[in-house]
Structure 1
Amino acid sequence: MVPEAQLRDDGAGLAPASAGWFVLNARDARWFHRPGRGDSVPLTGCDELEAETYFPMLGMSIQVLPPGEPNATYHWETEQEDFLVLAGRALLVVEGQGRQLEQWDFVHCPPETRHAFVGVGDEPCVILAASSRQFQKDGPWGFYCADEIARRYNASAPEDTQDGDVAYGRFPPSRPTRYRDGLLPD
């Protein structure tokens, strides 16, 4: 029988404290405010320890992007990634081209697909992101890429690099925070 996981409140919301099954409302979970990159709730671990201990097979997050803000620096990963636009609109920068997305658009990125999302329109964009973690332990996880279209939306790395400090150096650090009313649609 699989035990129920313990959840702990770390001051910014609930997060797993042991292995096992659990039910957690996203509004009660630990969120991260990422200045210049919106807000995110990493449902399957916010760091390597949590991810490898409790969620070694799957990564999943909800990202809320205000208009004009990217979710990440343009990059590719060794794993498949999939995305579903839950609300609002986004621009997908993928393999050097821009694609407009709207609610319920699904994006599939096979391994090594270069991509980033940017919120567009008059309201925040809410995206569900999921990825495999099958090969991450073998490294390298992926690569940050310089790209002219991504640069127009502040989503490009300044240079091709595997160094996250270089890729995200233009952004202030993320900080844990409780859910703020209105981030997620009703």
Structure 2
Amino acid sequence: MHDLAEALAVRNEEKGGALYPLEPRESPFRDFGVNVRVLWPGDPNALYHSEGVQEGFLVLSGECRLIVEEEERLLRQWDYFHCPAGTRQVLVGAGEGPCVIVMIGARPDDPIHYPVSDVAARYGASAANETAVPDEAYADWPGDYTPIRLPWPLDSGR
């Protein structure tokens, strides 16, 4: 059982928000991953990318900007986005406070593709050069994630 009020998240203070994995590290689900991501306004969850598998995103609270296939859409509480395999996308925190999102996805066997996106670049969420190598795509992102405990329910503070 996971109680997010007691769980440790990992957080990068500069990008990526906070991540609560909802599966044990020692025995992750074989076929899919599930986590809760907290994004503050301006925080992208990743770089603009596409995967060879489907994903799903459910906004539990707050607002985020979905950039999908070079289009922007605002998602609010209880909005759900089903992302078919091969769809280019990223989420960026929006609104006045944190956005909490449940993220579910099949485990990809194929490499993740990171295209260059002018729209995502406005939010610091585009790879500098098109690549399928994560270390190249994320070369400019800070690499240190620190364990933190966030207060639940979340307030608008960082």
TM-score by length of 1: 0.76
**Matched residues in 2 for 1:141 and 1:45: separation?**
24
1:27 corresponds to: 5
Does the C-alpha gap of structure 1 residues 164 and 45 become closer, same or farther in structure 2, counting only changes over 3 Å?
farther
1:60 corresponds to: 34
- The correspondence for 2:66, drawn from 79, 89, 92, is 92
1:180 corresponds to: 150
1:44 corresponds to: 23
1:163 aligns with 2:133: yes
Q: Would you say the 8 A contact 2:11–2:148 is kept in 1?
A: no
SS in 2 for 1:76: coil
Q: Would you say the 8 A contact 1:44–1:58 is kept in 2?
A: no
**Matched residues in 2 for 1:144 and 1:58: separation?**
21
* Higher RCO (CA < 8 A, seq sep 6+): 2
Q: Would you say the 8 A contact 1:73–1:144 is kept in 2?
A: yes
Q: Would you say the 8 A contact 2:9–2:150 is kept in 1?
A: no
**Matched residues in 1 for 2:153 and 2:117: separation?**
30
SS in 1 for 2:5: helix
Q: Would you say the 8 A contact 1:84–1:104 is kept in 2?
A: yes
Structure 2 unaligned segments of length 5 or more: list them: none
- Number of residues paired by the alignment? 154
1:118 corresponds to: 92
* Alpha-carbon offset, residue 140 of structure 1: 2.2
2:115 corresponds to: 145
Q: CA RMSD in A?
A: 1.8
* Alpha-carbon offset, residue 164 of structure 1: 1.4
TM-score by length of 2: 0.88
1:81 aligns with 2:55: yes
Q: Would you say the 8 A contact 1:64–1:183 is kept in 2?
A: no
1:10 corresponds to: none
SS in 1 for 2:119: helix
More off after superposition, 174-183 vs 152-161: 174-183
**Identity of counterpart residues, as a percentage?**
38
Q: Would you say the 8 A contact 1:30–1:176 is kept in 2?
A: no
Does the C-alpha gap of structure 1 residues 98 and 140 become closer, same or farther in structure 2, counting only changes over 3 Å?
same
Q: Which has the larger radius of gyration?
A: 1
* Alpha-carbon offset, residue 183 of structure 1: 6.6
* Alpha-carbon offset, residue 78 of structure 1: 1.1
1:16 corresponds to: none
* Alpha-carbon offset, residue 152 of structure 1: 0.5
* Alpha-carbon offset, residue 84 of structure 1: 0.4
* Alpha-carbon offset, residue 182 of structure 1: 4.6
